[in-house]
Amino acid sequence: MNQNQLQTPIDYLKGVGPNRAGLLRTELGIHTYQDLLNFFPNRYLDKTRFYKIKDLERNNSEVQVVGKIVHLKTVDQKRGKRLVADFIDDTGKMELVWFRGHKWIRENLKLNTPYVIFGKTNWFSGLFSMPHPEMELVEEYKKNLRTAMQPVYPSTEKLTKSGITNRAVNKMMQQLFLETGAKFYDTLPESIKEELKLIPKAEAMFNVHFPKSQELLAKAQFRLKFEELFYIQLQLLMKNMLRKNKIKGFPFDQVGEYFQEFYENHLPFDLTNAQKRVIKEIRQDLGSSAQMNRLLQGDVGSGKTIVALMTALLAFDNDFQACLMAPTEILAIQHYNGIKELTADLDINIRLLTGSSKTSERREIHAALESGELDLLIGTHALLEDKVKFKNLGLAIIDEQHRFGVAQRAKLWRKNTLPPHILVMTATPIPRTLAMSLYGDLDISVIDELPPGRKSIKTVHRYDSNRLKVFRFIKDEVKKGRQVYVVYPLIQESEKMDYKDLMDGYESIVREFPMPDFQISIVHGQMKPADKDYEMNRFVKGETQIMVATTVIEVGVNVPNASVMIIESAERFGLSQLHQLRGRVGRGAEQSYCILMTGHKLSADSKTRLETMVSTNDGFEIAEVDLKLRGPGDIMGTQQSGVLNLKIADIVKDNDILKLARSYALQVLKEDPDLAHEKNKVIRYTYGQLAKHKNIWNYIS
């Protein structure tokens, strides 16, 4: 069909007109015929099956039953009355209930005449009932033309109020298929369609809007989901290939003295197999002439810093400088101290640059950087200032990437003639499915095992009523010389209330753990940064045994002696936050504990979160559950959720289709990177249209 016809403004579709068109635009983002075509139902009412009353399930789903009304009565209730009908078939009895419109319904109902009824069932004291059923006499039902599976489209209150009901959308869709002749050009090559037994595009489009059966609907959805994910993956993989071919990097072909000396004589422990695998992947990147752009994922404590340091040593071996950028001063200082200690016996010049570095110190650092005598600069955003100039920056390591925007990364690039190799580290496990779509253009390495000797943290859930037992447990741990965190939630909207909760909690802890036997630190958002640092440092040095804090401590503080993490009102935290907080303990050789405190009233999602925390320490498993509970947009924050503005696929539920689509996209690009082959003509055309109209679905029809 003519591709341009689909770009017709929606106003011109028969039965729409300017008023409706305005609403479709503002409420649903439907501007053209194309947009309406790609407006997919989010569920279907299955009217293909008739249930017998005895076979009804207590699952609150919508069902269709054939039977007759044998008795009607009006029942008084607190407010007004309800009308109740006894409805029977040859297997049993149920009730039909109306709360309004009694008079009209009573006049129009026929007793002892076969009806088809449709609606949601409720189970109440041994009987099924159906409130306000849709009803049709069996003889009328047989005369009417209908599709057995009825699509239900997403809607808004405003649309329903303005008369754009589900039925109205369905009518528009029928009109659209009439006007376009239901012919849509195919966007996938024959070879892929044959291998995967995909139905043609036009057939898929028809059956997703007007399904003839469950089976055809499933085929249509599979075809459209595969196509959507295939083009998203193709786009990401092409970006990645383009970068590797176009953007040259510095080849680090020497594995020299720094790396060997450290590996053979100064490694404080044996590397885990996961660390060895990741270092090998990084070395392959650095040895090629392309620029490395790698995401390193690993749970808290999995040993990412050692991998980063060994990558930096490869840079020094090839006469390049490196920098490591962290999101907060505390983290930067921690990296600095850790790396200083690890490389004490190596001849490496390392400096720290943060917002609080003195001017005289800055001058020294700037000079040493430009002359090339400074090997590694560790710091915060301060590294991005224009004054910071490297002699030859070969590697930039970025910790906790999601806190830095793309623009900030680009600033690092511009400090050189050629862009440095980039290694991005994160302790926020991103589910593999999501990583494939968000960071599809980065290569991903995962450290998925903890160093030997680490005991896994024991996590328990306790209700507020067990608080005294929990206090006794804290006392026992402190007597053994351990330290304890007590964390309160901080939710901006109710800062006053949070502050009150924190202060109440702090007071009850001070009463329970009096001085001089116990020393307590407190850290919260309303304190001056200098006071926060002072309190933090007292805890780090072991001068206080209990740290009461809001979530400001979640990133990066390393206190190996802290063995207990108590999270108050744990139901108010998200899963990834709970997991991050738990990772603050378990850093020493002792057994560590995480205690999740809550009240008795918990929502279903809160229960799932708490059960997940108690049952596993695996960050990826936790991230998968989190993704199912919250959806992709929330996890990555708003700035990246746009990437996943999917029309029909669901990144969580369609995980398998995503993997399949990625493997096919890879295969196509391996054989034909420029999409020049005759058999890939369709892909080249569709991809070209996508590139032209940024909205990925705009041209897939």
Report CA Rg, the chain: 32
Same domain, yes or no: 305 and 415: yes
Buried b (16+ CB within 10 A) or exposed e, 400-422: bbbbbeeeebebbeebbeebbbb
Same domain, yes or no: 545 and 425: no
Using CA atoms, how far apart are residues 150 and 121, in angstroms rounded to an integer?
18
Same domain, yes or no: 502 and 558: yes
DSSP 631-649: -HHHHH-HHHHGGG--SS-
Using CA atoms, how far apart are residues 260 and 257, in angstroms rounded to an integer?
5
pLDDT of residue 163: 83
For residue range 142-168, what is the model confidence (pLDDT) as tens digits?
Answer: 876 555 678 889 888 888 888 888 888
Using CA atoms, how far apart are residues 242 and 232, in angstroms rounded to an integer?
15
pLDDT of residue 641: 37
List of residues 6+ apart from 485 with CB closer than 8 A: 546, 547, 549, 553, 562, 564, 565, 566, 581, 584, 585
Using CA atoms, how far apart are residues 313 and 263, in angstroms rounded to an integer?
10
Does the residue 329 lie in any domain? yes
Same domain, yes or no: 430 and 513: no
Instruction: Evaluate if residue 669 carries a pLDDT over 80.
Output: yes
Instruction: Evaluate if residue 401 carries a pLDDT over 90.
Output: no
Mean pLDDT over all residues of the chain? 85
Residue pair 412/384 in contact by the 8 Å Cβ criterion: yes
Does the residue 657 lie in any domain? no
Please report, for the domain that includes residue 292, its CATH number. Answer: 3.40.50.300
Same domain, yes or no: 360 and 481: no
Same domain, yes or no: 443 and 506: no
Does the residue 185 lie in any domain? no
Mapping DSSP to helix (H, G, I), strand (E, B) and coil, where does residue 83 land?
strand
Does the residue 649 lie in any domain? no
Residue pair 472/564 in contact by the 8 Å Cβ criterion: no
Does the residue 662 lie in any domain? no
| Its pTM surpasses 0.95 | no
pLDDT band at 556 (very low <50, low <70, confident <90, very high): low
Instruction: Evaluate if residue 117 carries a pLDDT over 90.
Output: yes
Which residue, 126, 145, 164, sits at the end of a domain? Answer: 145
Burial (CB < 10 A; 0-12, 13-18, 19+), residue 48, is middle
Among 219-223, 232-236, 434-438, the least confident range: 434-438
Same domain, yes or no: 394 and 418: yes
Burial (CB < 10 A; 0-12, 13-18, 19+), residue 154, is middle
DSSP 428-453: S---HHHHHHHSTTSEEEEE-SPPTT
Instruction: Evaluate if residue 76 carries a pLDDT over 80.
Output: yes
Which residue, 557, 586, 616, sits at the end of a domain? Answer: 616
Q: Structural domain tally of the chain? A: 3
Please report, for the domain that includes residue 120, its CATH number. Answer: 2.40.50.140
Same domain, yes or no: 427 and 484: no
Q: Give the pairing of strands 115-120 and 62-76.
A: antiparallel
Token look-up 């469950």 returns 214
Does the residue 229 lie in any domain? no
Mapping DSSP to helix (H, G, I), strand (E, B) and coil, where does residue 485 land?
strand
Instruction: Evaluate if residue 402 carries a pLDDT over 80.
Output: no
Instruction: Evaluate if residue 698 carries a pLDDT over 50.
Output: no
Does the residue 654 lie in any domain? no
Read off φ and ψ for residue 215, nearest 5 degrees: -65, -45
For residue range 610-640, what is the model confidence (pLDDT) as tens digits?
Answer: 999 999 988 878 887 887 787 655 544 433 3
Instruction: Evaluate if residue 546 carries a pLDDT over 50.
Output: yes
pLDDT of residue 491: 53
Percent of the chain with pLDDT over 70: 90
Which residue, 91, 117, 145, sits at the end of a domain? Answer: 145
| Distance set, CA 547 to CA 483, 515, 518, 655 (Å) | 8, 14, 11, 41
Same domain, yes or no: 347 and 271: yes
Rounded to the nearest angstrom, the gap between the alpha carbon of residue 357 and the centroid of all alpha carbons in its chain is 37
Percent of the chain with pLDDT over 90: 43
pLDDT of residue 355: 87
Same domain, yes or no: 405 and 525: no
Same domain, yes or no: 556 and 485: yes
Supply the range of the domain harboring residue 91.
48-145
Higher pLDDT, 653 or 65: 65
Does the residue 540 lie in any domain? yes
pLDDT of residue 553: 58
Same domain, yes or no: 433 and 491: no
For residue range 562-619, what is the model confidence (pLDDT) as tens digits?
Answer: 999 999 999 988 888 898 889 888 877 789 999 999 999 998 889 999 999 999 988 8
